[in-house]
Structure 1
């Protein structure tokens, strides 16, 4: 029944966390971005529903239909000056001050489109936003967060963030440059089974490099079972930091692929740039492009104080087939039971898998399979790098719902794990297995666990 407002438990099964018994349920019945001050059975827009939720104690569940919800109330740019951040949910982005859950009917069919007028959501301190089964697109900001800016708590489940951007167009040097082409997180962010694709941070006139083509994190971040694909960070000086993710907070990422993300020529961290605390497990970095630097970079290229605090642990990670260095370290880096091979700078025709830069805090490797490149990284197992995709790994492909490099039968990574292993691989399938048929069970290196034969 369209356009009704009542208290219900009907969506308990659809949310990651159970609803409170008195959760308010609202059903949006128009795609127009309208606001007459109230959400009624006869007329309730998304903006009106969010305003009602902001004014209602406890959690409010807002149900969306199949179709496109366009942002239409522009936040004007007064006389060419920097736009004002309006926080009353009257114009521009949707301001969340309460406990709001939005439930769509699928990321491909329920879409929120900011129409390049603003970002879509601003979650304020103390507020909570849950998004499920919907898509966010068309966001644009010169401040932080092309689609979503978070200072509270946000949870994404089966959400697609596509073609959102931070675009700093003010005259150089723009001192207020934004970060996070899709999301800028300064609070608590959880991402589950979601996709970041074709998001951009254009720091064109910024005084500092654009950070986070898809996601900028300065808070607490958890990512599971997700994909970062074809995102880009750039700026006027051909830099950009973190084509997929720039982390300067605390990040815990697992069962996630970073593929075809990019920074410009002098940029760093085509897939991930870490200047905080990061744990990456059972994940794949492939096809990312950083001409002079790396796909995964730990530490900051010109701020030693950030390198000193940069700590990363990579467990069962495959870093292969990237353009540029696979791994570059300036901070404290631990590689456990991982593969770094088949990475090369195509412009220079050089194999570039792993490098530790002068002044790096520490580098440790346990169970590392490394393609030979003449660099200064040490590993237990070395392979001829030219054989990476003929004897060690298959090309990147979807396998059991995850984008991975499956192990070939002849791979040196099979049953080569050292010490403690994770209990599953990137696909969520069990480790450990006897992958080579010798009767001994041990885990494989990298994100993929092979079963014999």
Structure 2
């Protein structure tokens, strides 16, 4: 362990850009909301890495009914197990059939009914006519293989995933057709039973669906059992990297906590005055659902860092693993097989994390290589590297591949991918080191929204982004000043195949660097642009963007073989304010200047959801700073709105609405419509908000800032005159609403539905606060969800995740109870939104 009071959360900028853009100010305030789960002692573990230990913290218990279950020919039987004394919801379930005896196992169907009426066919039509004399069949979602359809299941102890090869199974005493597991069905033990209260009566129904052939004494000779895990909160108590064979309240290393905690558990850390770096001797392997969280921040960055010490990968997520990191730094990882920081073949969620100085050699993904599901929110991927000699390698920051566990699009929201590189050895041939920031591999699909991809440098193609027969959607995202030394696509590059797809909505691809390469290279690929800026004054003619399809309302510096639409603007100077990087939302942005052709020139079709006839995969109602796009004369082109209204606008009050403030709570808002340079100036004509002041920002020169703690609720009009060096004077009108929270905490909820208005059951709704804290709930059978206690007077981002659907996040300021935060899912199985996928 290394204790440090230094702040490792520092950004690096290219010298050429620094001279023009000045310093980059970002404040990603990290924090984590931890819901502590009750712990239950006295576990009887079944197939778990947790050793038997008298003082081990545990939340795993086994319950059984050993009474034999006789199976009648062409009939059914049932057996019950009573669960009691468990605290917390189910996080992992194992069902064991003890002593199966049957001549034709394929005749058998097993149905598990939970204590509140939940139903799932867990085993059916497997094993053909290969008789069983004493088989102990242990069923878990976390087992690697299905039972065979027409081969012997095996006697003795055997482990399988829940398996069903039939459909429409019926059971004596059960109405209708219960839900089924795969491959015949679509459910799992986790999808049906995770999150429920385990206490009560569980019933196993067994049905012989064929007359004859079962022989005498067909039965479960020793009954059946349930092993139930519930989440626990485990605190790390030692800084040493060691395996103590148990995690106890008195002695638990980070490795112990990862290895021996129950499925669904949360790992937390002790308080400290500065940063803590845990140095690993080998990677931490995750094969279950696990959350690692930390409350604290130091200097605006993570307090807890986990380091590979330049020798080892940091986290390795198996196909059965589901890892969530909240506010954690992943640093100095190294791997020869991809994912220097994290290799994930399962599910990976990153909230308010920092991945820095990780390295992959002769493989993909300097910081992250994900072949499963990835969701990344308000996370920074900084100064990571891929290096290779003769092995094609991609993704200096992040590599996204398509593996068996990838069931939905990767999602990157409100994140920064910066200063990552792909570098050669002395013998590296050209053309194999691509995608310094982000690489999207064959069949992988990703959505990048409200993010910043900058200053990345590839040896070959795709300095910022590289797409290799994958599918990428950009929304409200900036790809700024990246480079590709010997290849094409300094901003975005690709392979020349139709399966290589890019759909860009309200995004900005710019560079202030000189290059002989194209800024965007989509030759032979399927690139489509709407409301997007692709321009630079420093690129050769006809090579700012090389091929693609314009859906209109874009700004292109030069078009190569792309045919612009009548609503497109071709100019090498989109009038974007390179001299002032704005903060706001979760990432920095470059905003249009007052005379930019981007202002009000976008297509407003992006404001509507696909279900309402919108032209984007989600309704794009805010820009990269989460500021409204619907104010003013129209939607702006690019990632950021101009962000103020000229006098005479025909809005009801002629004013631009500022983010809502709450009495008694700190408020800070930069007015990013201002870009004060040289002799430009401003005059505040009206500002009278009790408790707040307005003036020059102490952190962003040339920017006005409102700061303080408001004391009095009301609607306050603000008038400012902006005078620029050309003598252009603009009266800018704002309205700031100050509210009084009616309670310390308020509930919030709504309903999640599909495109036809049907409730989506079991969807995971996650709320993220401005400080990075996260809390999740599942929808009920009608698609309804509810958070009971959220701090009033704060802004939150609501996200929904459900298999087969995509959802647009909502940004909400909560002053009082809300029950109208509804979501409509868009099917991701096909083209439902009017754009090409």
Question: TM-score surpassing 0.5?
Answer: yes
**Aligned partner of 1:135 among 314, 329, 348:** 329
How far apart, in 2, do the equivalents of 1:93 and 1:413 lie? 48
**Aligned partner of 1:234 among 415, 423, 444:** 423
With normalisation by structure 2, the TM-score equals: 0.44
- 1:211: Cα distance to partner? 0.3
**Aligned partner of 1:270 among 439, 443, 463:** 463
* Corresponding position of 2:511: 321
* Corresponding position of 1:382: 569
- Secondary structure, in 3 states, of the residue corresponding to 1:366? coil
- 1:322: Cα distance to partner? 5.3
- 1:287: Cα distance to partner? 1.2
- 1:299: Cα distance to partner? 3.3
Residues 201 and 50 of structure 1: CA distance in aligned 2, closer, same or farther (over 3 Å) = same
Encode CA deviations 1:150-202: one digit per residue, 9 max, x unaligned: 011110000000110112xxxxxxxxx31100010000010000000000001
- 1:113: Cα distance to partner? 1.1
With normalisation by structure 1, the TM-score equals: 0.80
Residues 95 and 367 of structure 1: CA distance in aligned 2, closer, same or farther (over 3 Å) = same
**Equivalent residues in 2 for 1:53-452 (5 A)?**
53=261, 56=262, 58-65=263-270, 66=272, 67-73=275-281, 92-104=282-294, 105-106=296-297, 107-167=301-361, 177-203=362-388, 205-208=389-392, 210-219=393-402, 220-235=409-424, 236-239=428-431, 240-248=433-441, 249-264=444-459, 267-275=460-468, 276-291=470-485, 292-297=487-492, 299-300=494-495, 304=496, 307-321=497-511, 323=513, 324-329=517-522, 330-342=524-536, 344-345=538-539, 352-356=543-547, 363-371=549-557, 373=558, 375-379=560-564, 380-385=567-572, 387-388=573-574, 391-395=575-579, 397-401=581-585, 402-421=587-606, 422-434=620-632, 441-450=633-642, 451-452=644-645
Name structure 2 gaps, 5 residues minimum: 1-54, 60-86, 89-193, 198-229, 403-408, 607-619, 647-837
How far apart, in 2, do the equivalents of 1:340 and 1:49 lie? 48
Instruction: Return the index of the structure with the highest Cα Rg.
Output: 2
- Secondary structure, in 3 states, of the residue corresponding to 1:344? coil
- 1:238: Cα distance to partner? 4.8
Encode CA deviations 1:400-435: one digit per residue, 9 max, x unaligned: 14211111110111110125122110111111221x
Residues 136 and 185 of structure 1: CA distance in aligned 2, closer, same or farther (over 3 Å) = same
Residues 283 and 363 of structure 1: CA distance in aligned 2, closer, same or farther (over 3 Å) = same
How far apart, in 2, do the equivalents of 1:250 and 1:160 lie? 23
How far apart, in 2, do the equivalents of 1:114 and 1:226 lie? 23
Which stretch has the larger CA shift, 194-203 or 34-43? 34-43
How far apart, in 1, do the equivalents of 2:447 and 2:471 lie? 9
Q: Note if contact 2:304-2:328 (Cα within 8 Å) is conserved in structure 1.
A: yes
- Secondary structure, in 3 states, of the residue corresponding to 1:395? strand
- Secondary structure, in 3 states, of the residue corresponding to 1:295? coil
Residues 296 and 19 of structure 1: CA distance in aligned 2, closer, same or farther (over 3 Å) = farther
Q: Note if contact 1:298-1:332 (Cα within 8 Å) is conserved in structure 2.
A: no
Q: Note if contact 1:5-1:27 (Cα within 8 Å) is conserved in structure 2.
A: no
How far apart, in 1, do the equivalents of 2:57 and 2:580 lie? 47
- Secondary structure, in 3 states, of the residue corresponding to 1:294? coil
- 1:376: Cα distance to partner? 2.6
How far apart, in 1, do the equivalents of 2:420 and 2:313 lie? 17
How far apart, in 1, do the equivalents of 2:463 and 2:507 lie? 16
Q: Note if contact 2:413-2:450 (Cα within 8 Å) is conserved in structure 1.
A: yes
How far apart, in 2, do the equivalents of 1:142 and 1:280 lie? 30
Residues 185 and 352 of structure 1: CA distance in aligned 2, closer, same or farther (over 3 Å) = same
**Aligned partner of 2:255 among 47, 68, 90:** 47
- Secondary structure, in 3 states, of the residue corresponding to 1:420? helix
Encode CA deviations 1:118-162: one digit per residue, 9 max, x unaligned: 111110012110100111101011111001000111100000001
Q: Note if contact 1:71-1:120 (Cα within 8 Å) is conserved in structure 2.
A: no
Residues 392 and 136 of structure 1: CA distance in aligned 2, closer, same or farther (over 3 Å) = closer
Q: Note if contact 1:320-1:342 (Cα within 8 Å) is conserved in structure 2.
A: yes
How far apart, in 2, do the equivalents of 1:232 and 1:412 lie? 33
How far apart, in 2, do the equivalents of 1:123 and 1:206 lie? 27
- Secondary structure, in 3 states, of the residue corresponding to 1:161? strand
- Tell me how many residue pairs correspond in the alignment: 387
How far apart, in 1, do the equivalents of 2:544 and 2:420 lie? 22
- Secondary structure, in 3 states, of the residue corresponding to 1:33? coil
Residues 298 and 232 of structure 1: CA distance in aligned 2, closer, same or farther (over 3 Å) = closer
How far apart, in 2, do the equivalents of 1:410 and 1:246 lie? 35
Superposition misfits of 4+ residues, deviation over 6 angstroms? 6-9, 18-21
Encode CA deviations 1:40-68: one digit per residue, 9 max, x unaligned: 12210000111102xx3x31110024443
How far apart, in 1, do the equivalents of 2:369 and 2:314 lie? 12
How far apart, in 1, do the equivalents of 2:631 and 2:490 lie? 30
Name structure 1 gaps, 5 residues minimum: 10-17, 74-91, 168-176, 357-361, 435-440
How far apart, in 1, do the equivalents of 2:553 and 2:233 lie? 51
